[in-house]
């Protein structure tokens, strides 16, 4: 009679096919093969010191087909036939609170963001503009924290006065002093030496016109506050022989006898690699690439996806993929949350494991598509059963 009662209870637990989800670790049993599903009695009090343990609670999970809040099925321009329940309306800027509600850009350095299902104005460029007067609705993000000495780098960060009584903020950093021989140019917001600054030569805002020089590697510059009165080396050039009669004769980005600076000689067989920080040769395991009209550079041909197996041999990548180079052979890896489930390299990693009901959480893990069961956050949607036939 006891077994009949148990069977009757189980038969009325769920109307659809289910799975049983354990809450907690099951106690060890001594079941033999073929006896799965038979309830084992709790251990005897004499075996565990009198503290008997009950079976852990079993929760029967049935297939669910209705989108739980905050998920919805929202078509878009890029996805006219979207996956069921594939949109979180609490965070989606294109479907905020409901399908089709789009958060937009606003004037006064503002932009709407979907926060908790409503489009709320926020600063569009928070690293530059902030709302420092707590009046976001009326004047938006009114303060440029990159240049405002009252709010330098952040609201309320007031720059101290410098020696000439001016407070300055340059690129979000307070200029603490502007001592002689430098001068503070308020309109240009710069502390500079007027005797040699081509943009402020002799006076703030007095920019020297460009004047080419026929002497190799040189150009005319501001000197003693007078425009184009002095020859100086162009960028990347140097006067290594201390003789301006031949100009700035050395190009520091290519000369192996003066690589990056005068007198820096590269070892035999190495070259001077240009760029912003010229250096000699290549690291062990790297190969020198470039040359001719191309910039010289070093690359590991075994692992560099832009120079895989050979210089300038860039590995291709497809949809939702990252190119990789393994031992000089090109390959790809899927971006996080995506997988190549159809084995067709032409369409890349086509499966979104977070919302694809045919590949939910992993390739081949299919939800009950016929019943309309969606995939949400990589799991087939289920709910606690409320009656019907039970299967394991």
Query: What span, in angstroms and rounded, lies between the C-alpha atoms of 162 and 275?
Result: 37
pLDDT in tens, the chain (392 residues): 333 333 333 333 333 443 333 333 333 434 343 333 333 344 444 445 445 555 556 667 899 999 999 999 998 766 667 899 999 999 999 999 999 999 988 889 999 999 999 999 999 898 899 999 998 878 999 999 988 888 998 999 988 776 566 677 877 877 666 667 888 787 777 778 999 999 999 999 999 998 888 899 999 999 999 999 888 999 899 999 999 889 999 999 889 899 999 999 988 767 788 777 888 888 778 888 887 667 778 899 999 999 999 999 999 999 999 999 999 999 999 999 999 999 988 899 999 999 999 999 999 999 999 999 999 999 999 998 875 443 33
What is the pLDDT, as a whole number, of residue 160? Answer: 79
Contact assessment for residue 375 and residue 382, using Cβ atoms and an 8 Å cutoff: no
Provide the sign of the torsion angle of the four alpha carbons 259, 265, 266, 269, taken in this order. positive
Do 305 and 313 touch, CB atoms closer than 8 A? no
CB count within 10 Å of CB 56 equals 12
State how beta strands 382-384 and 87-88 pair.
Answer: unpaired
DSSP 61-101: EEE--SPPTTEE----SS-SSPPTT-EETTT-TTSSSSTT-
160 vs 170: CA distance, rounded Å: 13
Beta bridge partners of 331: 324
Instruction: Say which residue the tokens 């033999």 belong to.
Output: 32
Rounded Cα distance, 170 and 186, in Å: 11
Could you give the CA distance from residue 185 to residue 206 in angstroms, rounded to a whole number? 11
Q: What is the dihedral of CA 358, 361, 362, 367, to 10 degrees?
A: -30
Cα Rg, the chain, nearest whole Å? 35
The pLDDT value recorded for residue 163 is: 57
Q: How far apart are CA 373 and CA 370, in angstroms?
A: 8
Query: CB-based burial of residue 276 (10 Å sphere; 0-12 exposed, 13-18 middle, 19+ buried)?
Result: exposed
Which residues face 273 on adjacent strands? 279
Q: Which residues, 6+ apart, have CB-to-CB distance to 130 below 8 Å? A: 123, 141, 143, 145, 151, 154, 155
Nearest partner of 339 among 319, 315, 367, judged by Cα:
319
Quote the pLDDT of residue 252: 92
Q: Which two tokens stand for residue 12?
A: 């009325």
Ramachandran class of 140: left when φ > 0, alpha when ψ lies in -120 to 50, beta otherwise? left
Hey, which bits of 126-189 come out as E strands? Answer: 129-130, 143-144, 168-170, 173-175, 183-185
Instruction: Give SS3 for 293.
Output: coil
Structure tokens given for 326: 């393994």
Residue corresponding to tokens 């598509």: 369
Q: Let me know: does 233 contact 243? Beta carbons within 8 Å.
A: no
Side-chain half-sphere exposure of 351, counting CA atoms within 13 A: 21
State the Cα–Cα distance between residues 198 and 217, nearest whole angstrom. 18
Phi, psi of 252 (to 5 degrees): -70, -15
Phi, psi of 7 (to 5 degrees): -65, -40
Q: How far apart are CA 380 and CA 392, in angstroms?
A: 16
10 SS3 class? helix
Tell me which residue of 197, 224, 227 sits closest to 209, measured CA to CA: 227
């Amino acid at each position: 009679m006891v077994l009949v009662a148990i069977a009757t209870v189980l038969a009325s637990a769920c109307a659809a096919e289910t799975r049983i989800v354990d809450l907690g670790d099951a106690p060890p049993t001594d079941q033999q093969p073929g006896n799965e599903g038979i309830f084992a009695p709790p251990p005897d009090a004499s075996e565990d010191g009198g503290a008997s343990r009950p079976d852990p609670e079993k929760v029967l999970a049935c297939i669910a087909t209705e989108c739980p809040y905050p998920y919805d099925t929202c078509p878009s321009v890029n996805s006219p036939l979207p996956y069921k329940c594939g949109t979180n309306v609490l965070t989606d800027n294109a479907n905020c609170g409901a399908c089709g509600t789009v958060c937009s850009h606003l004037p006064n350095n503002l932009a709407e963001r979907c926060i908790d299902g409503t489009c709320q104005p926020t600063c569009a460029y928070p690293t530059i503009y902030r709302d420092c007067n707590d009046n976001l609705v009326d004047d938006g993000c009114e303060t440029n924290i990159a240049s405002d000495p009252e709010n330098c780098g952040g609201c309320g960060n007031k720059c101290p006065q410098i020696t000439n009584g001016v407070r300055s903020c340059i690129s979000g950093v307070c200029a603490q002093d502007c001592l002689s021989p430098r001068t503070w140019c308020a309109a240009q917001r710069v502390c500079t030496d007027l005797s040699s600054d081509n943009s402020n030569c002799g006076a703030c805002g007095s920019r020297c016109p460009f004047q080419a020089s026929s002497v190799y590697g040189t150009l005319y510059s501001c000197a003693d506050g007078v425009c184009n009165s002095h020859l100086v080396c162009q960028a990347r050039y140097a006067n290594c022989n201390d003789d301006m009669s031949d100009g700035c004769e050395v190009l520091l980005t290519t000369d192996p006898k003066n690589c990056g600076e005068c007198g820096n000689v590269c070892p035999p067989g190495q070259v001077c690699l240009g760029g912003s920080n010229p250096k000699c040769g290549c690291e062990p395991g790297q190969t020198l690439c470039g040359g001719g009209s191309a910039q010289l550079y070093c690359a590991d041909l075994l692992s560099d996806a832009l120079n895989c197996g050979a210089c300038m041999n860039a590995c291709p990548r497809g949809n939702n993929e990252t190119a990789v180079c393994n031992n000089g052979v090109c390959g790809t890896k899927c971006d996080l949350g995506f997988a190549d489930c159809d084995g067709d390299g032409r369409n890349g990693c086509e499966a979104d494991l977070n919302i694809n009901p045919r590949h939910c959480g992993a390739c081949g893990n299919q939800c009950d598509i016929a019943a309309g069961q969606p995939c949400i956050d990589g799991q087939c949607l289920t709910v606690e059963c409320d009656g019907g036939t039970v299967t394991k």
